[in-house]
Amino acid sequence: MTLQKLADGIFVDTSKIDKIKTLDAIIFDCDGVLIDITNSYDQAIKKTVDFILKEMTDIDQSNVVTTQMIEGFKATGGFNDEVDVTYSLILSIVAAKKLNKPIAEFIFEVIKNCDQSGICSVEKYLDTIRVDLSEIRKKLAYPGPHNSNTLYSTFDEIFYGAKLYYELYKRKPQFFDGQGLIDNDVVLVKKELIDTLRKKFDKKIAIISGRGVVSAKYSLKKLFDEFDLKNSRFLEDETRDLAKPNPQPLISSIKGLQSYCCMFVGDSMEDYIMAKKSEELGNKTVFCGIYGTSKDSEAKRKLFVEKNADMILETIDLIPNTLNLVET
């Protein structure tokens, strides 16, 4: 292990310095990197779980889901889609009730049995302990078609709000008619940072996000056009098989940018796995893990340390300084 602390909030694998010096492009994840989603996507998960439990089950329970649970699922590497997390939480809560187990304790038990296969690993584990979830699984029929599935629709209505939901899907919301939680997004990236990065990367600055293009543009506003959109990928608009950690969207972006060695900046295990697989498939890729946006930032930092990430930074604002430190 050759990870060294170069400055406050900056950790670099010194064995990769020569490789880092050859970087000629940078690609960002969006959520947790360019945008703080603590009060938007995370809250949408919690509200959707509460709504579904109330409407589709006899469980009178609310405010069960915690940020630690959400991050727990995401740390396994198979839950880049927030609706997948939502579905897994609903199944876990229903199962806990049927088994007469403490809900929070049981959810973390499920998380321990998850892997990169995401919701498949949840369903497999719950099947092995012989709990009958056929009724709720039939009602949810998840994943199913995005534009007609009840769980997708409920989540999207809560997240986007009535106005943006109508713009996206050309239909009125059925379950939620209020302001969308997307308006709680906090943009972390600044124009000054992009301008600084242009000095090294020129126009080779792109995005690969689990979001759809409309959602990303809505929240990033004018900054959205600062990125190379032709070579960016917005995976909510793609088929499920291209979801993270599938490396193909990243590889496609790297090739489109004509990059010799690319930095991928992410905050999740899916991002880390995506970058690692890209490297294994012959595309020079440096992974930079961002940990400061996590509720438990020290746990996230330690997770990246355990995975031998190439670079680990507290915030994206430290990228220019890190590159300068590596060059000297």
Domain that holds residue 17: 3-36+186-327
Give residue 92's pLDDT band: very low, low, confident or very high (50, 70, 90). very high
**10-13/311-313 β-pairing:** antiparallel
What integer is the mean pLDDT of 143-157?
91
Q: What pLDDT, on a 0 to 100 scale, did the predictor assign at position 2?
A: 87
Q: Per-residue pLDDT tens for 186-195?
A: 999 999 999 9
**Interhelix angle 82-99/119-128, nearest 10 degrees:** 10
In which residue are the tokens 């697989």 written?
Answer: 277
Domain end among 118, 153, 183: 183
The percent of residues in the chain predicted with pLDDT above 70, rounded, is 100
Which residues, 6 or more positions from 159, have their beta carbon under 8 angstroms from its beta carbon? Answer: 40, 41, 44, 180, 181, 182
- Give phi and psi for 81, each to the nearest 5: -90, 120
- Both 18 and 54 in one domain: the answer is no
DSSP H helices in the chain: 17-20, 41-56, 67-74, 82-99, 103-112, 119-128, 134-140, 150-169, 191-201, 213-220, 248-257, 269-280, 297-306, 319-327
Listed residue (31, 234, 250, 293) closest to 312, CA to CA: 293
Q: How many structural domains is the chain composed of?
A: 2
Domain end among 126, 157, 183: 183
79 vs 236: CA distance, rounded Å: 13
Q: Is the model's pLDDT at 21 over the cut of 70? A: yes
- Taking residue 170's Cβ as centre, other Cβ atoms within 10 Å add up to 8
CA angle centred on 239, ends 33 and 230, rounded to 5°: 55
CA count, 13 A, side-chain hemisphere, 288: 27
- Both 172 and 249 in one domain: the answer is no
- Both 135 and 19 in one domain: the answer is no
The percent of residues in the chain predicted with pLDDT above 90, rounded, is 90
- Both 170 and 250 in one domain: the answer is no
Q: What pLDDT, on a 0 to 100 scale, did the predictor assign at position 145?
A: 86
Give residue 1's pLDDT band: very low, low, confident or very high (50, 70, 90). low
- Both 65 and 89 in one domain: the answer is yes
155 vs 114: CA distance, rounded Å: 22
What integer is the mean pLDDT of 235-263?
96
- Both 174 and 209 in one domain: the answer is no
Give residue 147's pLDDT band: very low, low, confident or very high (50, 70, 90). confident
Q: Per-residue pLDDT tens for 163-192?
A: 999 988 899 999 888 899 999 999 999 999
Q: What are the angstrom distances between the C-alpha of 35 and each of 94, 217, 219?
A: 32, 12, 8
Listed residue (276, 277, 280) closest to 289, CA to CA: 276
In which residue are the tokens 């010194």 written?
Answer: 14
CA 108 to chain centre: 19
- Both 204 and 142 in one domain: the answer is no
- Both 170 and 204 in one domain: the answer is no
Give residue 4's pLDDT band: very low, low, confident or very high (50, 70, 90). very high
- Both 173 and 221 in one domain: the answer is no
Burial 60-79 (b: 16+ CB within 10 A, else e): eeeebbeeebbbbbbbbbbb
Q: Per-residue pLDDT tens for 60-90?
A: 788 899 999 999 999 999 998 999 999 999 9
Q: What pLDDT, on a 0 to 100 scale, did the predictor assign at position 103?
A: 96
Q: What pLDDT, on a 0 to 100 scale, did the predictor assign at position 328?
A: 80
Q: What pLDDT, on a 0 to 100 scale, did the predictor assign at position 312?
A: 98
- Both 190 and 253 in one domain: the answer is yes
Q: What are the angstrom distances between the C-alpha of 214 and each of 29, 155, 211, 220?
A: 15, 16, 8, 10
- Both 86 and 149 in one domain: the answer is yes
Q: What pLDDT, on a 0 to 100 scale, did the predictor assign at position 39?
A: 93
Domain end among 183, 204, 224: 183
Query: What's the mean pLDDT when you consider all of the chain?
Result: 95
Give residue 226's pLDDT band: very low, low, confident or very high (50, 70, 90). very high
- Both 199 and 110 in one domain: the answer is no
Provide the β-strand partners of residue 179.
161
Give residue 327's pLDDT band: very low, low, confident or very high (50, 70, 90). confident
Q: Where does residue 31 fall: left (phi above 0), alpha (psi -120 to 50 degrees), or beta otherwise?
A: beta
What integer is the mean pLDDT of 208-234?
96
Q: What pLDDT, on a 0 to 100 scale, did the predictor assign at position 7?
A: 96
In which residue are the tokens 């713009």 written?
Answer: 167
What CATH number did the domain enclosing 279 receive? Answer: 3.40.50.1000
Q: What pLDDT, on a 0 to 100 scale, did the predictor assign at position 178?
A: 86
CA angle centred on 273, ends 270 and 276, rounded to 5°: 150
